[in-house]
Amino acid sequence: MALNKPLSASGFEADITALRNTYEALHFQSDVLRTLYQAHTAGSFLPDFIVEDVRKAAFVKSLNREIIETLILVGIIGAFQKFVKVLVSDVLNTLRVKNASFTTLDETFRNRYLAAAAATFRFKPDGTVKGVRINFATIQDSLAKCLVDDADYTLEGEAITSEMGNPTPNTVDGIFDKIGMNSPFDTAYGDYLLKNGWSGDKTSGQAIRSSQATIVTNVQRRNDAVHGLEKVVFYQGEIADLCGQFESIGMGLFESVNSRV
């Protein structure tokens, strides 16, 4: 049985498309502004004060390419992190649909879910889980209904992903281990990457390893940028490439998980 009404894949594609469009629009706008400024002559129809505004908009350092690209990189990693969380929720929703009661679920899964849900409450006095806002009330309600085997029980993704942190391959593996699934970076995932032209790799294993390296490298770059530890430098067109790479990574993970639920 495939995932029931999944939101993760379509949501992730929409996020990446929005980031890609933003990147392309900003660069197009900058190119237009530069063209306008460079084409200006004393006899042109544009008043001097407008030309000066165009010049500032095209060249102002606070909106330079590096800053724009760094912000979009942060968005890509954020979108990927959100995707993993929603994918977990998709899995839990499907398990809920397939099992009329909590006790009919696999025992190992039940124990892990209850432990993860209960563990979130050590953060309740802070109001967040390490700075991330979650809905403690819905997790508490889920925990209570699962414990009494209420027919109206729910499985909350936040119970599993509340402490997720950076979406590295090891973190993703750990999250899926909590719900009783082996690593989604499997052969099916690697085969999906190859079919979608991943990096020119020749085998599934090579595609898996290079995609995991891409995740690790860019999560670190994102962290360096956010914490001001290091200036992030991009090659020409890299952001567009990263949008495509992470879209393939996300959809590959979706296909892997979807085939096993």
**115-136 pLDDT, tens digit each:** 999 999 999 999 899 888 899 9
Q: How far apart are CA 241 and CA 14, in angstroms?
A: 16
Distance CA 159, CA 139 (A): 6
Q: How far apart are the first and last CA of the chain?
A: 6
Buried b (16+ CB within 10 A) or exposed e, 59-88: eeeeeeeeebbbebbbbbbebbbbbbbbbb
Give the model's confidence band at 174: pLDDT under 50 very low, under 70 low, under 90 confident, else very high: very high
Q: State how far the Cα of 227 lies from the Cα of 179, in Å rounded to an integer.
A: 32
Task: Quote the DSSP letter at residue 1.
Answer: -
Which phi and psi (to 5°) does residue 186 adopt?
-105, -170
Which pLDDT score is estimated for 61? Answer: 45
Residue 243 CA, chain-centre distance (Å), reads: 11
For residues 197 and 114, the model is more confident at: 114
Q: What is the mean pLDDT of the chain?
A: 87
Q: What percent of the chain clears pLDDT 90, i.e. is strictly above it?
A: 66
| pLDDT value for 30 | 60
Q: Is the pLDDT of residue 224 over 80?
A: yes
Which segments of 40-135 does DSSP mark as H helices, in order? 48-59, 65-98, 107-119
Half-sphere exposure in the Cβ direction for 48 (13 Å, CA) = 2
SS3 content of the chain, % helix, strand, coil (to 5): 70, 0, 30
The pLDDT of residue 187 is above 70: yes
